[in-house]
Chain A
C-alpha cells in the first residue's frame, strides 16, 4: 500500500440527503472513513443507521450527494459496475443472514464459489482459514439452525471476509449478546481489521464496546452528524445530546416523556 493511500478515505460521503417518503432521514451530511481504521457510527435508535450502510452498499439511492468508494461514486454506477464494487465490500447483518439451507462450510464457501473458478481444494483451504480466524473451524459442518446467535454471527463474519474485501460494514454486531460473545466479537472486529488491513465501519449503539475498539467515532442524530472525533475527543465533547448519549442518561435533550398533555389535567378529566 502506498504511503499516500493511507491518508485518503476509502469511503467518502459528501452532502448526503436522503428522504423516505415525506420524512428526511439525512440532511446534507458528510463523513469520511479512513483506510485501515475502525470507524464507528453511533446514535439513538430509529435514526436510520442501517439505511446509511445500505446507501454505501448501493442498495438505496440518495436524493442528493455523493458516496465515493475508492474513487467511484456509488449512486452513479451502472448495475454491472455496482456488482463489481460490491465484491470489494461486505456487510455483516444484524441477524447474520446465513443461508439456512447450507452448512457453515458452504455458507463461507458461497462467495468464493460464486465469484471465482478456484478448484475445490483451494476453496477448502480458504474456508478453513477464515473459519479458524473466527474460531469456528470445528463447527464447519453444522447447519445454521444448530448455531447459537453468537456463533451464527461469527460464521457470517467468516463469510464476509471470504474474498478479502477492502471494506467491511457491521450492522449492530453487539446487539443482544451475552458478555462472552460480546467480548469475542469485539476482539474479532479489531484483530481482523488490523491483521487483514481492512477498513471497518461499525454501526452500533453499545457505547462502551464501540469506544474500546474504534479509532474514530461519528455520532449521528437529528438527520446529521452532531459530533465526531476519536473516543477521547468525543468524551470531552460539549454538545449535551452527545453527552446524554455517551453516558446513557435517561433524560436530557432526548426527553424521557413522550410528548403528552399536562399530567394534572389528564388525571382529573371526568369525561375522558
Chain B
C-alpha cells in the first residue's frame, strides 16, 4: 500500500521534473537573437519537412472529413427540412473544432513522431554531444528551427484543412445531394462570424501547435539513447500530445464559446 503511494509520488515528481526540463529546453532554444540570415537554410529545410510534407495527409483528410460531414449532416437536417443549414453546419464544425483539433492530432502523429525520432536518434548517435563539444549549441541549431517550423506551419495546415473541408462539403452537398449552391454559401456567410469563429479557430490551432511541437521536441531531446528508448519516446509523443490537444481543446472551447 505504501509502495503504491510512493510510486504515485515518484511518478508525479518525475512528471513535474519533465515539465521543468521541457521549459528549460524551450527557453534555451528561444533565448538570444536568432541569427536568421546565417541559419536561414536550416529554417527553410524544417519548414519543408514539417509543413510541406504534411500537406498531403492534411489535404486528403480535410477533403474526406468535409465530405463525411456533409453526408451525415444532410441525413439529419433533411428530417427537419433544414437542408439549407448544411453550409453553416459544415463550416462551423470545421472552423471551431474539427479543423484545429484533427489537424493537431494528424500533425502529432506524422510530424511530431518524426521530430521525436529524429532528435532521439541524434542523441543516440552522439551527434548532439558532438555538437556541444564543438561549441555549437544544439538547442539553437537543431531545436529552434524545428520549434518555429512546428509553431508556424501547423496553424497554416489547420486553415488549409478547414478550407478544403468546406469545399469537400460543397462537393458532396451541392454537386451530389442537391443542396442549393447559393444557399450553401449564403447561409454560411450569415452564420459564420470572422472574429468569433475564424479567429478563435486560428488561436486554437496556434495553441495546439505550441503544445504538440514542444512535447515532440522535448520527448526526443530527453529520450533514453537506445533503440528501445527512442521507440518509447515516439509513442509517448503521439499519446501525450493527442491527450494534451484534447484537454486544451476543452478548456479553450469553454472559454471562447462557453458564453
Which of A's residues lie within 8 Å of B, judged by CB? 54, 57, 59, 83-84, 86-87, 89-91, 93-95, 97-100, 110-111, 114-115, 156
Contacts and interface: CB of A to CB of B under 8 A. Distances in A.
Interface stretch (B79-87, B91-99, B129-137, B207-215): B129-137
B126 A95 contact: yes
B140 to A, nearest CB: 11
Interface residues of B, number: 12
B236 to A, nearest CB: 23
In the A-B complex, the 3 residue pairs with the closest CB atoms: A97-B130, A86-B135, A97-B126
A111 B131 CA distance: 9
Interface in B121-166: 122, 125-127, 129-130, 132-137
Contacts of B135: 83-84, 86-87, 114-115
A222 to B, nearest CB: 27
A156 B135 CA distance: 16
Given A97-B125, A97-B127, A100-B127, A90 B134 contact: yes
A215 B136 CA distance: 32
Contacts of B130: 91, 93, 97, 156
A195 B136 CA distance: 27
Q: Which interface residue of B130, B132, B137 has the most chain A CB atoms within 10 A?
A: B130
Contacts of A111: 134, 136
Nearest to B137: A83
Given A59-B132, A86-B133, A97-B130, 12 more contacts: A57-B133, A83-B135, A86-B132, A90-B133, A90-B134, A93-B130, A95-B126, A98-B127, A99-B127, A111-B134, A114-B134, A156-B130
B130 to A, nearest CB: 4
B249 to A, nearest CB: 35
Contacts of A54: 129
15 contacts: A54-B129, A59-B129, A83-B135, A84-B135, A86-B135, A87-B135, A89-B133, A90-B133, A93-B126, A95-B125, A97-B126, A98-B127, A100-B127, A110-B134, A111-B134
Contacts of A84: 135
A89 B136 CA distance: 13
A83 B136 CA distance: 8
Nearest to B133: A91
A94 B129 CA distance: 12
Contacts of A98: 127
A240 B103 CA distance: 66
Nearest to A159: B134
Nearest to A165: B134
Contacts of B136: 110-111, 114
A48 to B, nearest CB: 16
Contacts of B133: 57, 59, 86, 89-91
Contacts of A89: 133
A97 B225 CA distance: 13
B134 A86 contact: yes
B219 to A, nearest CB: 20
Contacts of A97: 125-127, 129-130
A113 to B, nearest CB: 9
B125 A100 contact: yes
A95 B137 CA distance: 20
Contacts of B134: 86-87, 90, 110-111, 114
A98 to B, nearest CB: 8
B44 to A, nearest CB: 14
Nearest to A99: B127
A87 B132 CA distance: 10
A90 B136 CA distance: 12
